[in-house]
Amino acid sequence: MKKFNVCIVGGGSTYTLGFLKSFVRLKEEFPLSKLVLFDIDAKRQEPIGKYGEIMFAERYPDLEFAYTTDPKTAYENMDFIFMQMRAGGLKMRREDEHIPLSMGLIGQETCGAGGMAYGLRSCVDMIEAIHQIREYSPNAWILNYSNPAAIVAEALRREFPEDKRILNICDQPENVVRSTSRLLGCSWEDLDPVYFGLNHYGWFTHMYDKKTGEDLLPKIREIVKEKGFLPQDAEQRDQSWLDTYGFVQTMLEDFPDYLPNTYDGYYLYPDYKVSHLNPNFTRADEVMAGREARVFKECEEVIKEGKLGDKFHAISDAHAEMMIKVAEAIAYNTNGRFILIVENDGAIANMQKDAMVEVVCELGINGPRPMRVGSIPQFYLGLLVQQVSSEKLLVDAFYEHSYEKALQAFTLNRLINDAKKARKVLDALIEANKGMWPELK
């Protein structure tokens, strides 16, 4: 069986440990020859690298493992590159969330003003990284889930138009499918969803039972009405995530056509959301105090012990497993179904051809084959056209260094929606992102 060479960009990420464990767990299904972690921050990556060395020596001794800040060592001879960088780090995520919220606007990692701020930083860093990757591994598959994936996907579409081995992915649609399966009491793999939208802005039009073909959406509606909605891994989630999932109940009551992505709540109820977010302690603060602290504490303990012992518990890491399954589908040409971000090109019949949309695709060695959803109703079309316009204008601003285009992107974003507010928050974000954004003139 062929074994693969994999590199993770953003080796110091809070998600990397989950990947390392998942690669061990999936070593029969997706065997690795070599795994390299790459990060621009050697100090942050080091404890994770050391954890990897200890774990693989015990459980994957034939794996060649390294961690590095050198692009050549990281990128040469790779089959798959998993990209999970956070341009500007969690420190800047905090700014993205706090600055808009201080002005009464949604402050969120990927939606609204904060998402656009992160978007401009990610355009700079992602484009640079992929040019570097292509110097050393012209044919590697690049699986990107660095956020904000919608904006990054649009920028990569323009920067690398001929490159058919860059794939943009988000785990949230599958997380919603998994959560639905928990409600229904079935396996998520028994569900066959139909989905349309942009990244972090979409809906399930059907949720078929894979075996019988029955559309379970009416049943799901009834159950959610009665019992609410929970993430599949609710026991491991912070309260803010439980609230976000719980809000699906409200969305389904008001808009019963389709099952929403959890992120739709920001766009449909911005005032309510702003009034329920704490401007002094946002999700970034929660992540730093929670997941980030936990991950680095686990590293510290394992490094001190010099062995894994009972530290290797098989907590389901849906995120890592999904990304590894995507690589597996390409590697073995399975043509399995995944919800992916692709150029529209008719998948949503009444949306522009060059929008980056999120739909169900069959995935194999020749890349994704999107499945058509037909025309979508006016309400959803209106929401999505407004958002895709905002995203495209932001990427125009990036390429043209244009303040005017950025102001248009911010004004058009439903979570700002007012030119004076747009200018105010844009100016504050320009100040906070000095040296990390292109200079807007």
Q: Which residues bind ligand NAD (CB under 6 A)?
A: 9-10, 12-15, 39-41, 44, 84-87, 89-90, 125, 129, 145-147, 149, 170-172, 319
Contact between 171 and ligand G6P by CB under 6 A: the answer reads yes
Contact between 108 and ligand G6P by CB under 6 A: the answer reads no
Binding partner of 64, given ligand NAD, ligand G6P, Mn ion, none, CB within 5-8 angstroms per partner class: none
Rounded Cα–Cα distance for residues 160 and 165 (Å): 10
Within 13 Å, how many C-alpha atoms sit on residue 438's CB side? Answer: 22
Taking the least distance from each CB to ligand NAD, the nearer of 82 and 229 is 82
Rounded Cα–Cα distance for residues 260 and 220 (Å): 12
Which H or E run includes 176? helix 172-184
- Could you give the string, one character per residue 141-170, with x where binding to Mn ion holds by CB under 5 A and - elsewhere? -----------------------------x
What tokens were used for 114? 């904060």
Taking the least distance from each CB to ligand G6P, the nearer of 32 and 320 is 320
Task: Report in angstroms how near the CB of residue 196 gets to ligand G6P at its nearest.
Answer: 17
Kindly name the residue from 51, 60, 118, 263 that is annotated as catalytic. 263
Site stretch for ligand G6P (CB under 6 A), options 96-104, 168-176, 225-233, 395-403: 168-176
Choose, by CB under 6 A, the member of 84, 144, 172, 180 that binds ligand G6P. 172
Binding partner of 129, given ligand G6P, ligand NAD, Mn ion, none, CB within 5-8 angstroms per partner class: ligand NAD
Q: Other C-beta atoms within 10 Å of 330: how many?
A: 21
Taking the least distance from each CB to ligand G6P, the nearer of 79 and 154 is 154
DSSP E strand boundaries for 287-423: 336-343, 356-364, 367-370
Q: Could you confirm whether 171 is annotated as catalytic?
A: yes
Q: Which residues contact 196 (CB under 8 A, 6 or more apart)?
A: 202, 203, 205, 347, 348, 357, 358, 359, 373, 376, 380
Rounded Cα–Cα distance for residues 123 and 102 (Å): 25
Which H or E run includes 203? strand 201-209
Q: Could you confirm whether 209 is annotated as catalytic?
A: no
Contact between 220 and ligand G6P by CB under 6 A: the answer reads no
Positions marked catalytic: 171, 263
